[in-house]
Copies of this chain bind each other. A is one copy, B any other.
């Protein structure tokens, strides 16, 4: 086996493009130097179309969870009541953050692998008319579900005064996102998913409506004080020393997105999703989600006649390929393939053809090449 190869096909962290690696290796510069101001000035306008917003997108140093907590402590006042739409373990994260701050938190749980309907969210809003914020997950990484954020935003705004706050960590950058048009009030993403970077940065933007709440909010906060970041970013700066090498990499990521074209980035992700789904359908191996609920960035597969562990082991040992298992109660029930960020249709074909071999090796009857062929046909249909 070729030892120096790892085929990282989990839903983040994702592989890093070589030119981004090189950009991250630039010599360090002062965080208050004109070069850093210039860098932030160049980055700023290029993040906006990815979020689909006219607002500045703030770049913070931290894990995605730091961004989610920033949304909570800035937009929710200590005595507020909130509703969290939980479609998997990352919906749960919002619940955990809110509960850590003793916020009165209602939850609407959907079955894992299913999305939620605007009608049912409306029922919850009627049941809890005092909620000041509704939290949702755009792509639920634990199941590969893409929630209908535009529709959810509409039902929230038509039936309440609540802010609509979205965790976009595992899809923003790979999936069309129209923060302003849809009415998302706070949107968060991380660097290590569709943004093609290592972990360490989190991105947050807020609507005018959210800013009205943030400015009045006296919830104690310092590092997560969003106003500090906005005010500094207005001057192309950051309140605290940023993760310099990741900012260098970010500029190159935005360059790559510009070269490919943002629309084509989105199309590529949809194509990779369809290729992956077609392959498993052709192999008669069940997908966790239906086509309508599927995310362009991650696909969950729920086999009934082989052990997920066995497949993951053979993929790793024979090919250096890493796919993710499930989380919580789905730990050994599903496996998840990430197809986001620095990932191409060619990579998807490799993933599928290697998985076919892996299935064969663990003794599952598969017609070799059948899944690959189905994926190829999807590719040709584009």
Q: CB-CB < 8 A to A200: which residues of B?
A: 61, 200, 242-246
| Cβ of A128 to closest chain B Cβ, rounded Å | 22
User: Of A8-16, A39-47, A177-185, A358-366, which stretch is located at the interface?
Assistant: A8-16
B100 and A225 contact, CB distance less than 8 A: yes
Q: CB-CB < 8 A to A204: which residues of B?
A: none
B246 and A243 contact, CB distance less than 8 A: yes
User: Of A25-33, A80-88, A346-354, which stretch is located at the interface?
Assistant: A25-33
Q: In the complex, which residue of chain B has the Cβ closest to the Cβ of A98? A: B222
Contact of A14 among B28, B96, B221 (CB under 8 A): B28
A244 and B13 contact, CB distance less than 8 A: yes
In the assembly, what is the distance between CA of A64 and CA of B63, in Å? Answer: 14
A63 and B223 contact, CB distance less than 8 A: yes
Number of copies of this kind of chain in the complex: 2
- The answer to whether the Cβ of A307 comes within 8 Å of any Cβ in the partner chain is no
- The answer to whether the Cβ of A62 comes within 8 Å of any Cβ in the partner chain is yes
Q: CB-CB < 8 A to A96: which residues of B?
A: 222
Contact of A66 among B62, B64, B190 (CB under 8 A): B62
In the assembly, what is the distance between CA of A6 and CA of B35, in Å? Answer: 11
| Cβ of A322 to closest chain B Cβ, rounded Å | 6
A/B interface sample: 28 pairs, CB < 8 A: A8-B27, A8-B30, A13-B30, A13-B244, A14-B28, A16-B28, A21-B25, A24-B245, A31-B192, A33-B322, A61-B199, A62-B62, A62-B66, A64-B240, A64-B241, A65-B240, A65-B241, A66-B66, A69-B222, A97-B223, A100-B220, A100-B221, A101-B222, A192-B241, A198-B244, A199-B242, A200-B200, A200-B246
A residues contacting B by CB (< 8 A) are 6, 8, 10, 12-16, 21-22, 24-25, 27-31, 33, 61-66, 69, 96-97, 100-102, 190, 192, 198-200, 220-225, 239-246, 322, 324
